[in-house]
Amino acid sequence: MDEATRLRLYNEDHALCLAWFEERSGTTTTWPKPIRDKIVLVTQYKGIFKPKWMPYVLSVRSSPKGPYIDSPVTYNDDGTWSFRYAREENKGRSGDSLFTNRALQACMDDQIPVGVLYKESENAPYLVLGLGLPTRFEESYFLFESYVSEHASSVPWHVPPIDGSHRVAALQAMYATPAETGESVLDALGNLDVQRNAEGKAKRHQPLTLLWAIGEARRRAPRLTGWPLARERIGALIQEFGAANRNYAYLPFLALAGTDIWELTATPPIGVQSSDRRRWLNNQNPVVKGGFTQPAYDLFANSVDATTEAALFLLDTYFDDMTPAQLLLVLKATGLNDALGHSGDSELQAPQADRPSRKGGAARLADTELRIAIERHAVHLAAKHYRTQGYDITEVGKPYDLRAVRECDELHVEVKGSTGTADDVELTRNEVTHAREIRTDLYVVDRIIWDVRADGTINTSGGRERLWPDWQPADAALTPTRFNYQLPGE
């Protein structure tokens, strides 16, 4: 690898990892072992491996057994190669928003090489293609071409990398603020690689584990929890709300380590089967601890807003078939009912205007329970409107609510609901940014009527529907309602 490329790398560990792929180019390998300081080169959870410690993809692997169909490798007479590599897709999320795809795009923009492993058949060993560059993106595929040094002679790998601390500091600053940390955490929540049942329904093992961990952070429990205690707490949640045996608690505890927001003090050996991973976990001494990374833990421990947005995203995405009363039980079981139900956060509470729209019911309902019911009612009406216009509708959740597709026409819809007369609506920074970058409609349903059924669930009806097509939130119409204040030093 030439010096100009080395200067673009993130740090010395990045260079050492890429050296492994370059030096073994053209050879076959079993599953690569970690290198210095237990730095792993690939992950078993995803074909695209973006390590937690840098903003770039380190490696990709292609296998015929995977869920994506990549093209065969084309070899050229001059020894170079190329192939088309499918980007990651996630039902209900835009592919452009997934952190793996964004990290590959960063490699393409900054000309950062990526290590490539390739299997021609299911039973074949991995072939180390070496280093590749994503050079173009077309129709859900990244075109990878073999990396060619910019100069004939490359810099020997034993030469220490030239100091790139200025670049490291700039890249680290991408996630320096609480707001940007919050965005990266929500990205991870939106990219969970969850198992699905025979009907294709997402299992709730990981979402329940994350809700529990958020609750632990809110009460400032230790960041990492030993496996015996985690097994008890996660197992009880899975059995109660996940329709599964409590013995499966080990699955999310280990699988979440494949995200950017979860860490373990030890990981099972590569290639160990599922039941053996549970046995390994139970037999470790000292016990394995797991939990949020420090930035994620600090975010939830210190921010009600972040807790609210993350928890409601998980509930909306994975618990959408539950009644509001059932959702409240989930919040209570994970220790989040106080943080979400009575936080004083205006985004959580049902609109106070026109409270007489409630027609009956003596019980005082949690604000979160009512907010969810009002939001679901508004989304239902918006989806119905666009279906009558011939659009196919997909519910997304964040950073917009609906994707509407009609032939070659696609638009995104931001939906807001209110029990009062809405002269304004609350927007997150992500919602504003998304609407400015991608064609978006604003659909507002206000004056929604609600009451309480005999079983304690909320019934919603009516509402005034208004539409602002091709919505562009103007700066002059935006009013700041909260500020982050950095406390002065003592």
pLDDT for 236-264, tens place per residue?
999 999 888 899 999 999 999 888 899 99
CA distance linking residue 288 with residue 267, whole number of Å: 8
Q: What are the Cα distances from residue 159, in Å, to 2, 25, 156, 388?
A: 12, 20, 6, 65
Please choose, from the candidates 195, 208, 215, the residue with its C-alpha nearest in 3D space to the C-alpha of residue 242.
208
CA distance linking residue 11 with residue 28, whole number of Å: 27
Could you tell me the pTM of the whole model? 0.47
Please choose, from the candidates 164, 67, 68, 153, the residue with its C-alpha nearest in 3D space to the C-alpha of residue 112.
164
Residue 459's pLDDT is: 83
Residue 182's pLDDT is: 66
pLDDT for 26-50, tens place per residue?
999 988 888 876 788 998 768 899 9
Q: Do residues 284 and 231 touch, judged by C-beta distance below 8 A?
A: no
Structure-block tokens of residue 338? 């106080």
Residue 180's pLDDT is: 57
Which residues, in sequence order, are bridge partners of residue 413? 402, 441
Domains of the chain: which residue ranges?
Answer: 3-175, 178-302, 349-477
Residue 2's pLDDT is: 84
Return the C-alpha torsion angle 356, 360, 364, 370, nearest 10: -70
Residue 265 amino acid letter: T
Task: Please give the CATH architecture assigned to the domain spanning 349-477.
Answer: 3-Layer(aba) Sandwich (3.40)
Structure-block tokens of residue 108? 């393409």
CA distance linking residue 342 with residue 332, whole number of Å: 12
Please choose, from the candidates 39, 28, 33, the residue with its C-alpha nearest in 3D space to the C-alpha of residue 123.
28
- Distance from the first to the final alpha carbon of the chain: 48
Q: Do residues 63 and 119 touch, judged by C-beta distance below 8 A?
A: yes
CA distance linking residue 230 with residue 291, whole number of Å: 9
Q: CB-hemisphere CA count at 13 Å for 170? A: 7
* 3-175 maps to CATH 1.10.357: no
Residue 187 amino acid letter: D
Distance of CA 63 to the CA centre of its chain: 24
Helix (H) or strand (E) holding 61: strand 59-62
Q: Do residues 411 and 471 touch, judged by C-beta distance below 8 A?
A: no
Pairing of strands 440-446, 409-417: parallel
Please choose, from the candidates 205, 193, 196, the residue with its C-alpha nearest in 3D space to the C-alpha of residue 231.
205
Return all residues near 74 (Cβ < 8 A) that are at least 6 apart: 81, 82, 83
CA distance linking residue 339 with residue 318, whole number of Å: 20
- Tens-digit pLDDT profile for the chain (490 aa)? 888 888 889 888 899 999 999 999 999 998 888 887 678 899 876 889 998 788 899 999 998 877 788 999 999 988 899 999 999 887 656 678 788 898 899 999 989 999 999 998 878 889 999 999 999 999 899 999 999 876 444 444 333 443 444 334 434 444 445 555 666 787 788 778 888 888 878 899 999 999 999 999 998 999 999 999 999 999 999 999 988 889 999 999 999 988 889 999 988 877 667 778 899 999 999 999 999 998 899 889 988 878 888 888 888 888 877 876 788 888 889 988 766 643 333 333 333 333 333 333 222 334 567 778 888 899 999 999 999 999 999 988 777 889 999 888 889 999 999 888 888 888 887 788 888 888 999 999 998 988 777 666 788 899 999 999 999 998 888 887 666 666 776 6
